[in-house]
Amino acid sequence: MVNASMLDIGSFNFKVLLGILVARYIMIVIACGVTKLSTQTYANPIGIMGLHALFCTQSNDVAIGLPIVKAIWPLATNPIDLPGYLILISTMQVIAVNPVCICIVEYGNSKLALEQREEEEDADPDQPEPSLAAKVAIGVITNPLVLGALTGLVFNFGCGRGCLQGGYAGDLLTTIGDAFSFCALFLTGISMHTHKAKKDQKEHDDDDGDDDTEDGEELEDESSMSQLDTTAAIPALVAGKSLALPILIRVLLIALLSSSNSDYSTLLNFGFLYGTLPVASLPVVLANRYNIRPKMIALASVISTFVSMPLLLGAAVLFDSPDSAALNN
């Protein structure tokens, strides 16, 4: 919130934000299309499409991206507020991109639940539930990142940029913001481990239970198909997030930005570096919440982190060199 309240909104080039937003929407279409072709035999293909799209567009902006951007382009020596760009992009991700993916997942789950309800002989009467749009809207509005960012923007426009830069309120919010990076990384690691363990225990309990033979055969068939599909799905997800997205962002920024701009090279390098950031913990959380390939998504998130780190290191060293401007000519 304090970061959003201190931003000089008028100093940002909104073509950069537009390029990154369009690149993410294109990745959603690509991820959904590829997933649809490969998951037609699954019980919830639409839910898998939404989860894969979220994986390919989600980035760990604050916990990993913000320290790296501050180290490469510090505000003291760089005329462009690239950490501010990162904060705006992160807010834009939560408001404009995540709801699209979550809407696809919710639609797939609702459709699957309706089909299962119709197949049941003794189904309970339909109970009124919130609409899909209402569920997504409530989830977005109650998201802490959205609330904090929107509150910061209200302070920005209502009270001015300096209202939270000093005093006890500013010091307190700055300390809380600095501690968020560690908490976010800790949440990512502990979510992967505990949710995976719970899922394994649940599968073990299901195997020891008195399930029907047909249900057991369907579960076994789906499990074997999932094991075969994981071999191709994980590399595809990691390649889409760590390779295709940064290239797509760079291509769109080249098309949108003017080469005569003095910040042209820096903005292109920032866009590519941003695209290589590893995936955040949200896909893992949603995979366990909706029970959609939780173990595969957790493994893909870990692999994405290890793949992204060499790319981030190489890009950081390359963009920090004196000859980095020549790469964009």
DSSP codes of every residue in 59-117: --IIIIIHHHHHHHS-TTT-SS-HHHHHHHHHHHIIIIIHHHHHHHHHHHHHHHHHHHH
Residue 21 binned pLDDT confidence (cut-offs 50, 70, 90): very high
Question: pTM score, two decimals?
Answer: 0.75
Judge whether residue 276 has pLDDT over 80: yes
When computed from its CA atoms, the radius of gyration of the chain, rounded to whole angstroms, is 22
- Amino acid letter, residue 169: A
pLDDT value of residue 50 = 92
Min mean pLDDT across 8-12, 255-259, 301-305 is at: 8-12
Task: With H, G, I as helix, E, B as strand and everything else as coil, classify residue 130.
Answer: coil
The tokens for 75 are: 């505000």
Q: Say which residue, 212 or 315, is predicted with more confidence.
A: 315
First to last CA, the chain: 38
* Cα 327 to Cα 307: distance, rounded to the nearest angstrom: 23
* Residue 81 and residue 133 in contact, taking contact as beta carbons nearer than 8 Å: no
Judge whether residue 222 has pLDDT over 80: no
Dump the DSSP string for 261-312. STTHHHHHHHHHHHHTSPP-SHHHHHHHHHTSSHHHHHHHHHHHHHHHHHHH
Task: With H, G, I as helix, E, B as strand and everything else as coil, classify residue 245.
Answer: helix
- What does the pLDDT average to over 145-158? 66
Task: With H, G, I as helix, E, B as strand and everything else as coil, classify residue 329.
Answer: coil
